[in-house]
Structure 1
Amino acid sequence: MTINIRRPDRSRPEPLWHQAEQALRALIADGTWPDGTQLPNEGKLGEMLGVSRITIRHALRNIEESGLLLREHGRGTFVRTSTVTAGVRGLTSFTQEMSDRGLVVGSRVLEMVELPATPEMASALEIAEGETVVKVRRLRAGNNQPIGIQTAFMPAARVPGFLGIGEPVPSLYEVLKNRFGISPQVAREIYRVGTVSAEDAALLEVEAGSPAFVVQRITSDARGPFEYTVSTMRGDRYEIRSRLQV
């Protein structure tokens, strides 16, 4: 198969490894190399792009660290099944995280209602128990592969008329910013190892009891907490990486 690849231009100011990285990412993003595809070896990639093996190695390492590639010793380099990699990062939405990793975000609203705050919700959002909150439960996907289920709770007083807006597209944070003037400033997350419930298993296309990350997140702006989210993320499509140094 002939591959249309953008070769680095030595007259441009960007480093060759950066141009090579962007060219390879583009082939993943546009589906030329779908999930599970084995990439050509470093020598062949170098010929395709007109750069050295060292340049290719640098580019591949960066893409691998972002979670888009899996390099297996003795086998080769493969496009990784849609995976979100969590680690040290800025305060971003799921939509932005997916975009940063070259994945096409997918979202489907499963439930969007108002209900009284439970003690847990009230404590997280710093409101009175029983106060009305908006619940938004969504199935999140990357490249049409289910990754997790996120359930967000927001004080109804901060988002009046939210239910009348319809599905928050493309991002809940975008809707909050554009419609209600709410922009996140700080968030606190807790990760726990858990399992997928019977209710969520069919949606996530796994067996009930499969490994999962359960993530609790409280997001605040200058006025205080405006979102409390509980997410169940597939253990095989969500991972946490940290860089440790002295």
Structure 2
Amino acid sequence: MSQAKKVHRGSAGDGSASGVTAISPVPLHTQIREVLRRQILDGTYPPHSQMPSESQMMNLFSVSRITIRQALGDLQKEGLIFKVMGKGSFVAKPKAFQSLSRLQGFGEAMSPSGYETYSLLMSARETEASIVVAQQFSIKPGTQVFEIQRLRYLNREPISVDVSYFPIDIGRRLVQEDLAARDIFVILENDFDLNLTHADLQIEAICADESLARHLGIAEGSPLLRMERMTYAGDVPVDFEFLYYRGDAFQYRLRIDRS
């Protein structure tokens, strides 16, 4: 059976197996988008598989080309598909995600889902605290802190650049550890006997500059998720980080309860 035949055919003017009908108050392109979205999410169209052509979908749903293009355009905006010039539409690889409901290191969060993680240590040095870093640690600007920069990999693809700052004594000890294979959180707790209790964080969307784009293997100006996170052991700040995640491959999730 061809890929195109996976979409149930039905007239746009009647009730059909696809559920697409002109009788519904929901616009046709929205109905078609939902049919295709379900089939992408349930694995009918696996990652990197090719979607039916626009002409095939026009016949399958008995609608105009502009209606199909509207549906595909919505799916592309959601990141569920991508288009290749002259070849058509393809299913995008699902984004990895990390829940923000728990304080976890990257490897801790990814391993239970079967992801392979690895870190490349780019630099480790003593440096003077900037105004931002000094404010986080409640120290004077110019005070010596320890900076560690890592390139994080997920399934052997670069996923983030992490720039972390520590008090001098902690940083000097950390650089002696296996930072390629172990999460810093795990080292702080298991090896340094620090009880990590909570973190303050903020997230914003930015565009990749030349350096970040080069390290992450993406085009300059590509979207990134930038997180600032200060982690505490009790009430003592121990780890301040700037985390830059690829917007096309990673997302954060958070459950919010209404009491």
TM-score class, shorter: 0.5 to 0.7
What is the Cα deviation at residue 209 of structure 1?
0.6
CA contact (8 A) 1:82 1:145 kept: no
What is the Cα deviation at residue 187 of structure 1?
0.5
CA RMSD, aligned part only? 2.5
Counterpart of 1:73 (choices 33, 38, 51) is: 38
For 1:147 and 1:115, how far apart are their aligned partners in 2?
26
For 1:244 and 1:114, how far apart are their aligned partners in 2?
39
For 1:96 and 1:162, how far apart are their aligned partners in 2?
18
For 2:107 and 2:100, how far apart are their aligned partners in 1?
17
CA contact (8 A) 1:82 1:142 kept: no
The reply to whether residue 239 of structure 1 matches residue 204 of structure 2 is no
- Cα deviation digits, residues 168-220 of structure 1 (max 9, x gap): 63111122223322231100110001011100112211001100101100000
1:141-160 to 2 correspondences below 5 Å: 141-160=153-172
1:79-158 to 2 correspondences below 5 Å: 81=93, 83-158=95-170
Query: Compared with structure 1, are the counterparts of its residues 131 and 168 closer, same or farther at alpha carbon in structure 2 (3 Å cutoff)?
Result: farther
Counterpart of 2:224 (choices 171, 196, 212) is: 212
- Cα deviation digits, residues 18-37 of structure 1 (max 9, x gap): xxxxxxxxxxxxxxxxxxxx
Structure (1 or 2) with the larger CA radius of gyration: 2
For 1:245 and 1:89, how far apart are their aligned partners in 2?
11
Query: Compared with structure 1, are the counterparts of its residues 167 and 108 closer, same or farther at alpha carbon in structure 2 (3 Å cutoff)?
Result: same
- Cα deviation digits, residues 206-239 of structure 1 (max 9, x gap): 0011001011000001241101000110001111
For 1:92 and 1:244, how far apart are their aligned partners in 2?
18
Query: Compared with structure 1, are the counterparts of its residues 244 and 166 closer, same or farther at alpha carbon in structure 2 (3 Å cutoff)?
Result: closer
1:169 equivalent in structure 2: 181
2:242 equivalent in structure 1: 230
What is the Cα deviation at residue 160 of structure 1?
4.5
TM-score with structure 1 setting the length: 0.64
- Cα deviation digits, residues 108-167 of structure 1 (max 9, x gap): 011111111111101112223222111111111111111111110001134444434463
The reply to whether residue 184 of structure 1 matches residue 149 of structure 2 is no
For 2:181 and 2:98, how far apart are their aligned partners in 1?
22
For 2:226 and 2:233, how far apart are their aligned partners in 1?
23
Query: Compared with structure 1, are the counterparts of its residues 163 and 96 closer, same or farther at alpha carbon in structure 2 (3 Å cutoff)?
Result: closer
Give the length in aligned residue pairs: 178
Query: Compared with structure 1, are the counterparts of its residues 180 and 82 closer, same or farther at alpha carbon in structure 2 (3 Å cutoff)?
Result: farther
For 1:219 and 1:149, how far apart are their aligned partners in 2?
18
Identity %: 21
Deviates more, 1:100-109 or 1:156-165: 156-165
CA contact (8 A) 1:194 1:212 kept: yes
For 1:83 and 1:184, how far apart are their aligned partners in 2?
28
Unaligned runs of 5+ in 1: 1-37, 42-70
Counterpart of 2:233 (choices 221, 228, 243) is: 221
